[in-house]
Amino acid sequence: MNILRHLTLLLCLCAGLASAQQQPPARSFTDAARGPTPITESTKPPPLANAINDDVRRTRNYAMQPPTIPHRVDGYQIDKNFNKCLDCHARARTETSQAVPVSITHYMDRDGRVLGQVSTRRYFCMQCHVAQDAARPLVNNTFQDVDTVIQQSLKKSQSADKAPKK
């Protein structure tokens, strides 16, 4: 009985040593957006280009899309104590600044009650709104807004109606 116990212990010890042998190094994983650098290594980010600063309001591509920011926002302080965007875009200051006022939806809590200040869930502007940059897209995009799709559909149906019937 004692020998059986020692034999079992010796067998477990041998199995543990066999599994602890040196494993071959794991294959390094890469991500296409990072290039050939493995994900476990740091990369040097590309230099930032100059943000577009023309103050031209851009059309939105879909309903409820947050408008883009048409000016530079480098160094804007937006934290729990201060929001630089509200210096110009707060409803009380837009007459002086001539900036687009913050939407009334930003003054509502999750239950739809209107508040006296911007709701905390809408306070950090750049979670939804982004500054424009003349960057090359990383991925090809064939998006068309709904108005373009409707116009193309109408043109197709009109050309089908004008085609001679056999």
Query: pLDDT digit string (tens) for 93-109?
Result: 999 999 999 999 999 99
Query: pLDDT digit string (tens) for 44-93?
Result: 877 777 778 888 888 887 788 899 999 988 889 999 999 999 999 998 99
Using DSSP's 3-state secondary structure scheme, residue 132 falls into coil
For residue 83, what are the β-bridge partners? 78
Taking the domain 48-136, which CATH number applies?
1.10.1130.10
Work out the percent of the chain whose per-residue pLDDT is above 70. Answer: 88
- The model's confidence at residue 166, banded by pLDDT at 50, 70 and 90, is low
Residue 165 pLDDT greater than 70, yes or no:
no
Neighbouring C-beta atoms of residue 10, cutoff 10 Å: 10
Using DSSP's 3-state secondary structure scheme, residue 36 falls into coil
Structure pTM? Answer: 0.58
